[in-house]
Structure 1
Amino acid sequence: MGGETTGPNVVDLIGREHRELLALCAELTGEGTDAARRRSIAQVLSAGLSRHLSAEEQYLYPAVRSIVPDGYALVDREIVEDRALLEALRLLEAAGDGDRPARAADVCRRLTRHADAAAAELLPMLLQMAPVEDLIRLGNRVELAEEAAPTRPHPGTPSTPPWNKVVDPAVAVVDKMRDMMSRRTTYPQDL
């Protein structure tokens, strides 16, 4: 008699993360947020979104490619968009207070497109075609991958397995050391 697979399914996990990241965007671009808070929110958004995209590219996209009809075309489109989103994040991180609103708006627009594409296409198809146990296993893998993922945008790193599964954790070690040395905020609960 085997054990039961437990944990969040990948569809619920990704959907929740998209909502959390979009909420950070809303606060970042909203009225009444002072410059220091915007800097902190931008750092947390960048770290969270970098972790999120890394885990999607390591586990979600390969699953979509293998299970969903025309999954290759969907994933290839998303990887191109993810690279542009990472570049927009890199520019946001480098922005001064004067440039931050425009850079933040660009990141938020790209993140909204990313979340909408996942909610409209990728996740419903995966939910329909994959067994629940596989979705839960995939959710567990995504959560683990996020903890070992970079906390800064690296648009030039590999975006497909096996190389991203090797490079991303190595880059993450450097990112986390830089975060620790600079006391950079990387999680929403630390804002």
Structure 2
Amino acid sequence: MSGLPLPPLPPIDGDATGRSMLDLLEEEHQQLDRLCTRAETEPAANDVLVATLARHLSAEEQYLYPAISGVLPEGRRVAERELAADAELLVALRHLHTSADQAALHTVTEHVRNHSHRTTAEVFPALRANCTTDELVRLGNRVEIARSAAPTRPHPGTPSTPPLNKLVDPALGVLDKLRDALTRRTTWEEDL
């Protein structure tokens, strides 16, 4: 094991089952890019972009950044850089959520594309080289659970590192999902 902060899990037939955290996050980066483009011409895509990005950032803050800090030689510095970028993005995302104007969308789109490029080009290859497939799959399982419980609205100023974010984000997620249901807000791309 490479030193990732993972609780022990019993393996199924010797290996963890599921998808790699890096594959899931890369796929989400592509989805976010697609949603940024759609939101330019489809106002309904704005809410989905906000919700998808809020879930994505929550899952990364809970599992990707601790993995980076725990495994990579310069991991703590990289994680701090990404957390700072996420804080800026959450402020821009809140502005987009409340105003839905093109300038806010442009700012969010720029942040999303820069984030996707940095992590996909720099961080993911380093994690692939330093983590086992089993570890990345176990993290992928946790990312999927975190996304399903995550907030669907931006909450700048809330804790962005474990253990507090693992407590606060699911609680905010429940409240956000209740508000989404009451307002009939669309939060999934497949519902557009």
TM-score range, shorter chain: over 0.9
> 1:53 aligns to what SS in structure 2?
helix
> Partner residue of 2:36?
25
Deviations 1:133-159 (A, max 9, x none): 000000110011000000000011100
The one-letter code of the counterpart of 2:32 is L
> Partner residue of 1:45?
49
The one-letter code of the counterpart of 2:123 is L
> Partner residue of 2:87?
83
Deviation >6 Å, runs of 4+: none
The one-letter code of the counterpart of 2:109 is C
Cα separation, 1, equivalents of 2:104 and 2:30: 20
2:146 pairs with 1:145:
yes
> Partner residue of 1:179?
180
Could you list the runs of 5+ residues in structure 2 that have no partner in the other structure? 1-10
- How far is 1:2 from its partner? 5.0
- How far is 1:27 from its partner? 1.5
> Partner residue of 2:69?
65
> Partner residue of 2:159?
158
Cα separation, 1, equivalents of 2:160 and 2:83: 7
The one-letter code of the counterpart of 2:88 is A
2:10 pairs with 1:6:
no
- How far is 1:75 from its partner? 0.4
Cα separation, 2, equivalents of 1:2 and 1:188: 32
Cα separation, 2, equivalents of 1:2 and 1:55: 24
> 1:150 aligns to what SS in structure 2?
coil
Distance 1:128 1:101, change over 3 A: same
> 1:8 aligns to what SS in structure 2?
coil
The one-letter code of the counterpart of 2:81 is R
Could you list the runs of 5+ residues in structure 1 that have no partner in the other structure? none
Cα separation, 2, equivalents of 1:42 and 1:104: 8
> Partner residue of 1:121?
122
Deviations 1:36-76 (A, max 9, x none): x31x1110000000000000000111011001111000000
**Could you say what the CA RMSD is over the residues aligned between the two structures, in angstroms?**
1.1
Cα separation, 1, equivalents of 2:133 and 2:97: 38
Report the count of equivalent residues: 181
- How far is 1:181 from its partner? 0.3
- How far is 1:5 from its partner? 1.5
Cα separation, 2, equivalents of 1:27 and 1:42: 8
